[in-house]
Structure 1
Amino acid sequence: MRAVNGILRKRLVLVLFVLGTVFLALIGRLAYIQLIQSPWLTKKAEDLWRRDIPVESKRGTILDRNGEVLAYNGSAPTVVAIPAQIKDKPATAEKLAKVLGVQTEDILSKISKRTSIVYVTPGGRKIEEQKAKEVRALKLPGIYVTEEGKRYYPFESLAAHILGFSGIDNQGLTGLEQWYDERLRGKKGSISFMANVTGQRISGEDDTYTPPENGQNLKLTIDKEISTFLRREIENVVATTNPDGVMGIVADPKTGEILAMENYPTFKPGNYKDYPQEVFNRNLAIWKTFEPGSTFKIVTLAAALEENKINLKDRFYDPGYYEVAGRKIRCWKAGGHGSETFLEVVENSCNPGFMLMGQRLGKEKLFSYIYKFGFGQKTGIDMPGEGKGIMFKLNRVGPLELATTSFGQGVSVTPIQQVMAVSAIANGGLLMEPHVAKEWIEPETGKVIERIEPKEKQRVVSEVTAKTVRETLESVVARGTGKNAFREGYRIAGKTGTAQVAAPGGGYKQGHYIVSFIGMAPADDPKLVAYIAVDNPKAGLVFGGVIAAPVVGNVLADSLHYLNVPARKNGISREYKYGDIRPVEVPQLAGLSIEEAQKVMIQSAAHLRVETVGQGKYVVAQAPAAGTKVPPGSAIRIFLSEQPAP
């Protein structure tokens, strides 16, 4: 009996010990939950109860290099709904639809969704302030008006393909808006409130406002004024030649900064939905690839000079063709140019002379320079959608491919590649990386956060060779095929291009050409490189020297005048032949009244057009400046004011 009692006592002690241990564990667990896990559990509960109304961040402003605003955000009211808080959904939908001007059924389907929060669409996003006031005045349970950013582009289509646009959800979709979306967008904020499982507000709980982090401001290398000059010239080309497309670029050759980039067809970023997708999705100036034609001869010339394969004073005889691998490849001029120096080969854009240069270089050497100049690879410009072109594989280059490549046929390049290659000639032989972002700026303080510095890739030719090429190209403009780009005092150097367009099945499209011109100025110390390509012009003589050269001449002259680059008096004189159109001198108009300016223009008999900027009785400035020589029919812009110039 005593043994049994002992066993029972031991079992009882054991049970009590186990129960005590469990009890202590429960107390410990309760203490852990109450004291240690309480903040975490409270946060978890609050996360379940919390409902957030998003508050969009302000998208960063995009500025040109001089601080001119190209894209900015304005505040726009947006209607959101908490479906669980709406007691009478049909009545709510009817009242909202009446204010927003949409169908009641569309609103009802939105606010009937089983979701915590929903935008009231269609019609309720980024609305006018008057409609927002009317919505607030309805005081509908579960209906709120928050703020979203609406993007504005004050200069409409100017630099449209560079800027791109952002969508209704504040996300960048094309152009720089897409490329730099994360930095421009910033981070969303919110208005938070507590609600129970059915979505009803929990009384006694205050709303919490988390402010958004606004996006950073972006200053570009783009110059609005130079972009305006380029845009104007493109519009003139479109009006006179009805082309399929036009691409234009202006760059600073020393830094790789893009000062202007315009295309046709174009679009207005603020109304991008009104345009076909292929228009706003394709920045032709960096995307389109095509055979460059004679502008590519600059590379062949530079390589031949660098490798001492030619002397510009040596002579060459052009019978009108060059025989390669049993085939006669003809010069653009029927009957050829006859006996000429290699300088005249370049002035005349003589294909046989360039084929000889290519033959002397050999395929390995020529193609090594082509790649050093940046062709066959992306330039690295900070924009989406860049193409890289098409080059012959070296093991597939025979005598015929070598010959055609030497004058720009058979290979495919982009406009931006050509601009950077010629910039290397302009700056003394250095290939630069192009860029359009210049500075990142903190929006609240205006402090520069990051500055994008010029990036040198490699040296492609010596300074001596680059200088010789510039002098040769200045001669092309003064005496050769580029005469229509000549502007007195600006020392423009450049090269024309007229290229057939390849057909999808092989060969070339009949009658379809891309005409182009690439130029730099002043030739002794280039500040700018400008390129224009016109795809399939349908009026006039279809040659780069006729259609594209005057465009580049106008853009360079206006831009250099705008940049206050002094005129040069030591350039190569323009050579005039029978039938050439001689330039006329721009009269002095600045400082006159509008009536006096009209009399001067009539008396000058210069056959110039006048475009007015602004309003007023007095001419306070003019472009081009007085004394500048321009082709007859050129436009002279006069800037008007109510007060005379001081």
Structure 2
Amino acid sequence: MGDRDWTRRRRLAWVSLAALLTFALLIGRLGYIQLVQSPWLTQRAMDSWRRDIPVEPKRGTVYDRNGHVLAYNVSAPTVVAVPAQIRDKAVTAGRLAPVLNVSEQRILSLISKRTLMVYVAGGRKIDDAKAKAVRDLHLPGVYITEEGRRYYPFGELAAHVLGFVGIDNQGLAGLEAQYDARLRGFPGAISFFANAKGEAMPGTESTYIPPQPGEDVYLTLDEQISSFVRREIDRVVAEYHPDSVTAVVADPGTGEILAMENAPTFNPTNYQDYPHQVYDRNLAIWKTFEPGSTFKIVTLSAALQENKIRLDERFFDPGYFEVAGHRIRCWKAGGHGSESFLEVVENSCNPGFMLMGQRLGKDALFHYIRAFGFGSKTGIDLPGEGSGILFKLSRVGPLELATTSFGQGVSVTPIQQVMAVSAVANGGVLMKPYVAAKWVDHETEQVISERQPTPVRRVISPQTAELVRGALESVVARGTGKNAYSEGYRVAGKTGTAQVVGPDGHYMRNHYIVSFIGMAPADHPRLVAYVAVDNPKAPVIFGGVIAAPVVGHILADSLQYLGVPPSSQGIPREYGYLDTKPVEVPDVAGRSLDEARRTMLESSAQLNVATAGQGDYVIAQAPQAGTKVPPGTTVRIYLGPKPAGAP
């Protein structure tokens, strides 16, 4: 055998071996694909053929702290169509039109589109009867899915806290936006298999993948306390026609927000019917303005904590305070003359507070201002919070120090003021406010998570906080806050009347924000309440006249609702010659209706009577007998049958 034959045979052997190896590799690869990758490839193919019609999940329910429903979803059937699966579009449109009460042409134009899925005109969120009628048509390519519509059964109540959702069930404002990921849930689907043209594949059926509902949430809000606040705001709007009103009620010990209301407001169910400036802005956390005299609580707390004043120390107010060549006048012409620092607080005397600021100095005063939470967001779990504006310390001179001492030149939010005063109420600790208290599984009702109160920092000592509360109780009993006084409940608080800065940077004439912030009971506060009224139309514009009664009513009604017993241990109210003294409500229980009316009319207060129920005899009354009320108050009496044993 020659060399040439040997070479040829060797090459043939190598080619044969290579072919054998290649064939072996191909067989191995084919086996690997068939045996190992088959499930994965099948799944990829199935995924490419699968088409899903989304089924909207049920959005989580929102409850108040006592389980009252504030927001919930109602499921409604919706008709959708897959155009590629509808062979005779004219017939389909003709059969759907009379059921859905729309024109054939409108439906035909929709189901003729080159798209995977369309919502059928007239078929979104229909009633069950129409949905059954559509199903009974058995039309290829026509499906029934479900959508949810959000309802807010209390209408405008807590609207800015709750927020609202859009057409696709997504949170757009308030809590609905803040916690959208938890409330929304996960969508399901009606799943079917289709070819590249969207036509249903023979031998396959649609499957239903149920959606997962969102989590339910229990808020810190109290529907009843919110109703008290809403009532008072509506009264202020009707009487004074202000540009806006905002009010907040909080538990000072925990930071829980019990009520947060604004005017103007809106109904979240139909938010589109209102200007966006109304539903976009939660004034209680967004709006910033000069606080005026309610800010003096910070100055007072700092001065007492740093031992710069004593409440029994004397001060002379000539009616002005001179600083850096400027004469800043007291609100009272001629001044208050000789007074103690307790009377400085009672009288809301600006020169007295400027002296406190001067004794503190800018470093100490601004340290306490920031420690109380001003100049930064509180971190409340609601979108759109403002942070306010403070002077940079490097720009604070004697004049800025003086004006800041009585609440002018700084800009704060209502929620900042509520939390700052809550620190005084709870013994000196700044708390973080919150509104979402507990998350619950919608189906099992098991608690998923629960929020605990969050202390931020200690600001003042318990002893200083007690001194400040005592001074503020004296403000309500004997000073500018008398109109917040509530017989039987120890209310402490501070008035505020602040000018508003205009677009030109100067204070506007006859434009004020009047406010009042109060707490009760003063010895161990359960509640802190704040109200601010922007630009009220009234002959006398003072926080003590317009805002103080609002807080007084809110605190009294809320404490009575919470079962807090009245107390006679507080500072008795001091009455001036222009003040109207309260009168005691007589006991008319068990008497006939005529007798009850006569008794009320014959009382020195000439009390009015409103009746409720059916019958000729009084079975209950509100306010209760012995309660002290202003003259002319309406007493509601509840009627029923003649009590057993009555003459």
**How big is the shift at 1:204?**
2.6
Aligned residues: 643
| Counterpart residue number, 1:415 | 414
Give distance in 2, aligned partners of 1:590 and 1:225.
Answer: 26
Give distance in 1, aligned partners of 2:588 and 2:125.
Answer: 48
Give distance in 2, aligned partners of 1:136 and 1:526.
Answer: 61
| Counterpart residue number, 1:15 | 15
Q: Assess if the C-alpha contact under 8 Å between 1:561 and 1:625 holds in 2.
A: no
Q: Partner letter of residue 289 of structure 2?
A: F
Q: Partner letter of residue 166 of structure 1?
A: V
Change (3 A) 1:574 1:199: same
Give distance in 2, aligned partners of 1:198 and 1:521.
Answer: 71
| Counterpart residue number, 2:250 | 251
**How big is the shift at 1:362?**
0.6
State whether structure 2 residue 188 is matched by structure 1 residue 189.
yes
| Counterpart residue number, 1:116 | 116
| Counterpart residue number, 1:397 | 396
State whether structure 2 residue 74 is matched by structure 1 residue 74.
yes
Percent of paired sites with the same residue = 68
Change (3 A) 1:224 1:608: farther
| Counterpart residue number, 1:363 | 362
Q: Assess if the C-alpha contact under 8 Å between 2:250 and 2:418 holds in 1.
A: yes
Cα-to-partner distance string for 1:291-315 (whole Å, 9 max, x where unaligned): 0000000111111111111111111
Give distance in 1, aligned partners of 2:412 and 2:55.
Answer: 45
Q: Assess if the C-alpha contact under 8 Å between 2:52 and 2:189 holds in 1.
A: yes
**How big is the shift at 1:200?**
2.2
Change (3 A) 1:347 1:401: same
Q: Partner letter of residue 471 of structure 2?
A: T
Give distance in 2, aligned partners of 1:643 and 1:119.
Answer: 63
Give distance in 2, aligned partners of 1:264 and 1:593.
Answer: 42
Q: Partner letter of residue 420 of structure 2?
A: A
Cα-to-partner distance string for 1:604-637 (whole Å, 9 max, x where unaligned): 4645566778x55587765544322233455556
Give distance in 2, aligned partners of 1:312 and 1:115.
Answer: 78
Give distance in 2, aligned partners of 1:611 and 1:188.
Answer: 53
| Counterpart residue number, 1:309 | 308
| Counterpart residue number, 1:381 | 380
| Counterpart residue number, 1:63 | 63
Give distance in 2, aligned partners of 1:413 and 1:610.
Answer: 43
**How big is the shift at 1:21?**
1.7
Give distance in 2, aligned partners of 1:109 and 1:644.
Answer: 73
Deviates more, 1:594-603 or 1:442-451: 594-603
SS in structure 2 opposite 1:21?
helix
**How big is the shift at 1:587?**
4.1
Change (3 A) 1:436 1:274: same
1:277-356 matches, cutoff 5 A: 277-356=276-355
Q: Assess if the C-alpha contact under 8 Å between 1:558 and 1:624 holds in 2.
A: no
**How big is the shift at 1:205?**
2.2
1:583-622 matches, cutoff 5 A: 583-588=582-587, 598=597, 600-604=599-603, 606=605, 616-617=614-615
**How big is the shift at 1:641?**
8.3
Give distance in 1, aligned partners of 2:450 and 2:642.
Answer: 40
| Counterpart residue number, 1:557 | 556
Change (3 A) 1:625 1:456: farther
Q: Partner letter of residue 372 of structure 1?
A: A
SS in structure 2 opposite 1:79?
strand
Q: Assess if the C-alpha contact under 8 Å between 1:616 and 1:643 holds in 2.
A: no
Change (3 A) 1:634 1:442: farther
**How big is the shift at 1:9?**
2.3
Deviates more, 1:356-365 or 1:190-199: 190-199
Give distance in 2, aligned partners of 1:289 and 1:407.
Answer: 17
**How big is the shift at 1:28?**
1.2
SS in structure 2 opposite 1:564?
coil
| Counterpart residue number, 1:215 | 214
| Counterpart residue number, 1:53 | 53
Give distance in 1, aligned partners of 2:413 and 2:509.
Answer: 22
**How big is the shift at 1:243?**
0.5
Give distance in 1, aligned partners of 2:539 and 2:95.
Answer: 61
State whether structure 2 residue 600 is matched by structure 1 residue 569.
no
1:384-463 matches, cutoff 5 A: 384-463=383-462
TM-score normalised by structure 2 residue count: 0.94
Q: Partner letter of residue 275 of structure 2?
A: P
**How big is the shift at 1:80?**
1.4
Q: Partner letter of residue 241 of structure 1?
A: Y
Give distance in 1, aligned partners of 2:240 and 2:263.
Answer: 12
Q: Assess if the C-alpha contact under 8 Å between 2:600 and 2:608 holds in 1.
A: no
Change (3 A) 1:251 1:544: same
Cα-to-partner distance string for 1:308-343 (whole Å, 9 max, x where unaligned): 111111111111111111111111111111111111
Cα-to-partner distance string for 1:370-389 (whole Å, 9 max, x where unaligned): 00100000011111111110
Q: Assess if the C-alpha contact under 8 Å between 2:590 and 2:642 holds in 1.
A: no
**How big is the shift at 1:592?**
7.0
Give distance in 1, aligned partners of 2:595 and 2:262.
Answer: 38
Change (3 A) 1:529 1:640: farther
Give distance in 1, aligned partners of 2:390 and 2:211.
Answer: 49
Cα-to-partner distance string for 1:202-238 (whole Å, 9 max, x where unaligned): 2332332222211111001111100000000000000
| Counterpart residue number, 1:198 | 197
Give distance in 1, aligned partners of 2:385 and 2:610.
Answer: 36
Q: Assess if the C-alpha contact under 8 Å between 2:597 and 2:609 holds in 1.
A: no
Give distance in 1, aligned partners of 2:573 and 2:600.
Answer: 25
Give distance in 1, aligned partners of 2:393 and 2:167.
Answer: 48
Deviates more, 1:124-133 or 1:430-439: 124-133
**How big is the shift at 1:438?**
1.1
SS in structure 2 opposite 1:362?
helix
**How big is the shift at 1:115?**
2.3
Q: Partner letter of residue 299 of structure 1?
A: V
Q: Assess if the C-alpha contact under 8 Å between 1:223 and 1:259 holds in 2.
A: yes
1:23-172 matches, cutoff 5 A: 23-90=23-90, 92-93=92-93, 96=96, 99-101=99-101, 107-120=107-120, 123-172=122-171
**How big is the shift at 1:15?**
2.4
Q: Partner letter of residue 44 of structure 1?
A: R
**How big is the shift at 1:196?**
2.2
Give distance in 1, aligned partners of 2:235 and 2:403.
Answer: 33
Give distance in 1, aligned partners of 2:596 and 2:262.
Answer: 35
**How big is the shift at 1:128?**
3.1
Give distance in 1, aligned partners of 2:610 and 2:393.
Answer: 53
Change (3 A) 1:28 1:185: same
Give distance in 1, aligned partners of 2:635 and 2:270.
Answer: 32
Q: Assess if the C-alpha contact under 8 Å between 1:561 and 1:624 holds in 2.
A: no
Give distance in 2, aligned partners of 1:409 and 1:173.
Answer: 35
SS in structure 2 opposite 1:384?
coil
Gaps of 5+ in 1: none
Change (3 A) 1:590 1:116: farther
SS in structure 2 opposite 1:191?
strand
Change (3 A) 1:7 1:623: farther
Give distance in 1, aligned partners of 2:79 and 2:59.
Answer: 20
Q: Partner letter of residue 397 of structure 1?
A: V
Change (3 A) 1:101 1:336: farther
Deviates more, 1:342-351 or 1:126-135: 126-135
Give distance in 2, aligned partners of 1:593 and 1:444.
Answer: 53
What RMSD, in angstroms, separates the aligned Cα atoms of the two structures? 2.4
Q: Partner letter of residue 552 of structure 1?
A: V
Give distance in 2, aligned partners of 1:612 and 1:20.
Answer: 105
Q: Assess if the C-alpha contact under 8 Å between 1:558 and 1:623 holds in 2.
A: no
Cα-to-partner distance string for 1:33-91 (whole Å, 9 max, x where unaligned): 11111111111111111111211211111111111111111111112111111223355
Give distance in 2, aligned partners of 1:281 and 1:442.
Answer: 30
Give distance in 1, aligned partners of 2:643 and 2:138.
Answer: 57
**How big is the shift at 1:12?**
2.4
SS in structure 1 opposite 2:511?
strand
Q: Partner letter of residue 289 of structure 1?
A: T
Give distance in 2, aligned partners of 1:60 and 1:640.
Answer: 42
